[in-house]
Amino acid sequence: MSYDDQNIFAKILRGEIPCKKIYEDNFVLSFYDINPQKKIHALVIPKGKYVDLDDFTLKASPEEMVGLFKGINIVAKKLGISSEVGKGYRAIANISDHGGQEVPHLHFHLFGGESVGKLVG
């Protein structure tokens, strides 16, 4: 799938649509999900134009890859949900059709602020 510049996260990145920003650096933007599924539900997206995790893995530079994963850790610390403070959270990325992805710009969901339970079972 080619990248759609009109997807909602592309518009947020361009500042055309507002978001409740948590963190931003050269590689990532993080903001609260508009429809939270847990006490804390944050999204972390790369600034580059990547449709999903497969696209990112194939095309992103090593710096962008490090930047994304460091970004997730920074956001978790900022939100007070990181394992370093004894909490923890779930990080998931839905990928394409069978993965249930709705917005075609790679994003990680961070669920926390409470026990999020088992994913399966």
Set 41, 105, 107, 109: catalytic member: 107
Is 107 annotated in the active site? yes
Assess 19 for contact with ligand AMP (CB under 6 A): yes
Assess 103 for contact with ligand AMP (CB under 6 A): yes
Give the interface segment with ligand AMP, choosing from 27-35, 48-56, 58-66, 82-90 (CB under 6 A). Answer: 27-35
Could you tell me the two tokens for 99?
């993965």
Assess 100 for contact with ligand AMP (CB under 6 A): yes
- Distance, in Å, from the CA atom of 78 to the CA atom of 119, rounded to the nearest integer, reads 24
Position among 23, 65, 90, 94 found at the interface with ligand AMP (CB under 6 A): 94
Radius of gyration (C-alpha) of the chain in whole angstroms: 14
Contact assessment for residue 91 and residue 107, using Cβ atoms and an 8 Å cutoff = no
Contact assessment for residue 94 and residue 101, using Cβ atoms and an 8 Å cutoff = yes
Contact assessment for residue 9 and residue 30, using Cβ atoms and an 8 Å cutoff = no
Binding site for ligand AMP (CB under 6 A): 8, 17, 19, 31, 33-35, 43, 94, 100-103
Annotated catalytic residues are 107
